[in-house]
Amino acid sequence: MAGQTIIPAGDFRTSYAADTTVFPTTTSRNAMIAGIALTCVAPHVVNEYVLSLLIQIGIFGIAALGLNIVVGFTGQISIGHAAFFGFGAFTSAYLSNRFGIPVFFCIPLAGVVTAAVGLVFGLPAARLKGLYLAIATLAAQYILLDFFARAEWFTGGSVPASAEPFSIFGYMLRGDKQYFYVVLAYVVVCYLLVTNLIRSRDGRALVAVRDHYLSAEIMGINLTKYRTLSFGLAAFFAGVGGALYAHYNQVVSNEGFGIDRSIIFLAMIIIGGLGSIMGTLMGTAFMVLLPESMEWLSVALRDSPIDQFLGLKNNIAFLREMAIGLIIIIFLVFEPDGLAHRWRQIKAYWKLYPFSH
Amino acid sequence: MTMKTLLSTASLALLLGSTAALAQAPIALGHLTDYSGPTSDVGTPFGQGVADTYAWINKSGGINGAKVNLDTVDYGYQVPRAIAQYKKWSGADKVAAILGWGTADTEALTGFLAQDKIPDISASYAAALSDPTGAGGKAKPAPYNFFYGPSYSDALRGMLTWAAEDWKAKGKSGKPKYVHMGANHPYPNAPKAAGEAIATDLGFEVLPPIVFALTPGDYSAQCLTLKSSGANYAYLGNTAGSNISVLNACKAAGVDVQFLGNVWGMDENAAKAAGAAADGVVFPLRTAIAWGGNAPGMKTFTEISKMSDAAGTAYRPVHYLAGVCTALYMKEAVEWAAKNGGATGENVKKGFYQKKDWVPAGGEGICNPSTFTEKDHRGTLKVDLYRMKVAGATDAPLNELVKNGGIKMEKVKTIDLPRKPDWLGW
């Protein structure tokens, strides 16, 4: 199950600090630092298209991380996550357009405002569980979406709102190459924050609520507080992700924050691994790259002998959408514990190689 | 196909490819289409028209000997996908110009287009895209946006002008009631303010708008509202697919109202799908004739149509013809640019200003004359109004229905709107 680690027999810890360390070995710590350093080089190596995909993985990865707090760590359900993502996007655009606040500050501010909204919509979680909660969060999705369409003072109504490009102290960042570092910085900070959150007293409380709410309550954990808090935290990261998204595109339209996007966020964390921080990023990468690779496939298929034989033509576009759905189903059947689990298995395999059974 | 023919076609293709490459670097154009989204009903024929035109242009030697690389992308009517695609077109896969699609995405891109100097001839006719300098004061400047045909606002102004006359001609008394119907989306909303303003001026009573989604669905509730409101003239702001649902639901509810269709709101396919419910809808036509009509340009259009229909039997709806006209305008602008300093975005923009009452070669008698100037991108203010006539069952294939008069578009009136400066941009 999620959160499970493969620790060989005889490897025991003698202090709390050792038990809660982020990196179990020096190698894993160095590998992570090397990984981040390598990612820093990316804008100078990869082309603009790959760069835009990396940025998207970063942005959606932050929002998906928020959802993993609610679903993966606290065991609640939310199918309105995209609405919070959108709220963050509109808030950041609104703050910078209306009040002239530098975008640098708008992004975290948007996170805070969205967190407040998330707390309000998280209130039903104090009383509802399971499917009932799912429907309550679905309501949040529709209420916010309708708000986007109608609150012209805030979102510009049905006309897309414009968002300023990212700037720090008068210096404006233009182009994906520079923006990549902004997103990377946020990814590193957000993932560190959540990793640390889970190690903390509050994080353990969230996990306790997930594992058995009654036991958690008996141990003195305030269920109402932690359930609502998890929604607030989720909305915070959704808001930050949404704000990054707004300033990346420099346009915010009220499309793209619908239930379909919420489901994609859920798919990201389910595929990555519920309750796994690294898995969130893996799942996001999977869900961003899947439609793109299907697009490459459909381009390759166009006017090919198979296309001509079957007379597919414009139907390829629909086949692509169906293939994406099919792959997700197949993936869930064969990989129910997510990519994070598979990754651990691969690591364990090589650790014991060639003596693994 | 034998090995020999395969080999010979391959070598011929190679030869053609290499000579073209020697002759001139290919011209890259971006083509944004909706083949799978909520406006795919009209996006498909329009996009096909554009794609066929460039296939035909390439077959007949390209633009000044340069091949056109048309990058056709289906973005499913989703603004974020259009923006992602635009980033590619303005960056790595640089294009000289774009043939765009929807209102929301084109309006979202306007600022970027101006910044990157990439002209975009869109299938969105939102009036906000017709003010290149922002002098009208109603819209942000859109210096690199173009479209072929009357703007949504001007088309609606034309229809309401006709409606006012129609009301009088029918000898009815009292104030006619007008209502705007459509999704809460930039596209149906684009002409709302303009329509309601001129309706008030023309003596209509303007009712609160009725909202229905861009996708087909059950709109009985909207029709009951329409019925109880007592509206006489209703504007359908959506595309054909959802309008069909409304027309059917309103026929079932027994609503007696004259529907005024948006330029994307009615076509032969929609009339076939809606059957008798589509009978009587008045809508503007962007081309001088429909498919199979008599005009010198029809020969070229037939050739173009054969690019995706080798047998030449397909009936092409009005949007296909508009797509071909749009593509031909862009082709001539690019052609002018290629001859005058190279096919860059800035030059292509200038290419649009070269002719007065411009009819692109091959579109004679079909594409309506258009004039673009640096201060005014309203190509035309002529609104040709037609009425859809549907007689009997519409089960037969479309080309038969049109041939035997089961589906007929009857000319109602041509409204020549004045080029008012204060109508620019809304």
Q: What is the CATH number of the domain that holds A32?
A: 1.10.3470
Same domain, residue pair B190 and B298: no
Residue B17 binned pLDDT confidence (cut-offs 50, 70, 90): very low
Look at B79 and A47 and tell me if their CB atoms are within 8 Å.
no
Question: What global pTM score does this model have?
Answer: 0.81
In a domain, B118, yes or no: yes
Chain segment A209-257, per-residue pLDDT in tens: 999 999 999 999 999 999 999 999 999 999 999 999 999 988 888 878 9
In a domain, B359, yes or no: no
The domain in which residue B44 lies consists of 3-150+293-351
Average pLDDT over residues A116-132: 90
In a domain, B356, yes or no: no
**To the nearest whole number, what is the mean pLDDT of chain B?**
90
Last residue of a domain, one of B351, B369, B399: B351
Same domain, residue pair B209 and B315: no
Interface test with A, best of B1, B34, B36, B307 (most A CBs within 10 A): B36
Residue B259 tokens read as: 């529907």
Interface test with B, best of A254, A255, A314, A316 (most B CBs within 10 A): A255
How many structural domains comprise chain B?
Answer: 2
Instruction: Residue A158: list chain B partners with CB under 8 A.
Output: 104, 184-186, 189
CATH number of the structural domain spanning residue B77 = 3.40.50.2300
Instruction: Residue A318: list chain B partners with CB under 8 A.
Output: 36
Number of A–B residue contacts, CB under 8 Å: 59
In a domain, B357, yes or no: no
Surface of B (393-422) touching A: CB under 8 A:
none
pLDDT in the model for residue A357: 58
In a domain, A276, yes or no: yes
Same domain, residue pair B283 and B332: no
Answer positive or negative: Cα dihedral of B273, B278, B279, B282: negative
In a domain, A8, yes or no: no
Residue B6 binned pLDDT confidence (cut-offs 50, 70, 90): low
Same domain, residue pair B315 and B411: no
Q: Choose among B117, B100, B113, B93: nearest CA to B27.
A: B93
The answer to whether residue B242 scores a pLDDT higher than 90 is: yes
Same domain, residue pair B280 and B391: yes
Strands (E) across A263-326 are located at none
What is the H or E stretch that residue B415 is in? strand B407-416
Same domain, residue pair B58 and B101: yes
Residue B7 binned pLDDT confidence (cut-offs 50, 70, 90): low
In a domain, A17, yes or no: no
Q: Which chain A residue has its CA at the smallest distance from B90's CA?
A: A48
Same domain, residue pair B266 and B127: no
Look at A256 and B104 and tell me if their CB atoms are within 8 Å.
no
Same domain, residue pair B238 and B342: no
Residue B172 binned pLDDT confidence (cut-offs 50, 70, 90): confident
Q: Report yes or no for ipTM above 0.90.
A: no
The answer to whether residue B260 scores a pLDDT higher than 70 is: yes
Q: Is B112 on the interface with A (CB under 8 A)?
A: yes
Q: Is B79 on the interface with A (CB under 8 A)?
A: yes
Look at B36 and A318 and tell me if their CB atoms are within 8 Å.
yes
Q: Which chain A residue has its CA at the smallest distance from B88's CA?
A: A49
In a domain, B364, yes or no: no
Largest CA distance in chain A: 67
Smallest Cα distance from A30 to chain B, Å: 34
Smallest Cα distance from B149 to chain A, Å: 22
Residue B274 tokens read as: 């809606």
Same domain, residue pair B312 and B229: no
Same domain, residue pair B57 and B144: yes
- Of the listed ranges A24-33, A116-125, B1-10, B172-181, the least confidently predicted one is B1-10
In a domain, B363, yes or no: no
The domain in which residue A267 lies consists of 25-352
pLDDT in the model for residue B21: 43
Chain segment B64-105, per-residue pLDDT in tens: 899 999 999 989 898 888 988 898 898 878 899 999 999 989
Residue B11 binned pLDDT confidence (cut-offs 50, 70, 90): low
In a domain, A6, yes or no: no
Same domain, residue pair B287 and B302: no
How many structural domains comprise chain A?
Answer: 1
Nearest to B87 among A52, A150, A253 (CB): A52
Decide if A226 contacts A203 (C-beta within 8 A).
no
In a domain, A30, yes or no: yes
Q: Distance between CA B334 and CA B321 in Å, rounded?
A: 20
The total of other beta-carbon atoms located within 10 Å of residue A294's CB is 18
Last residue of a domain, one of B302, B332, B351: B351
List of residues 6+ apart from A271 with CB closer than 8 A: A282, A283, A286, A287, A328, A331, A332, A335, A338, A339
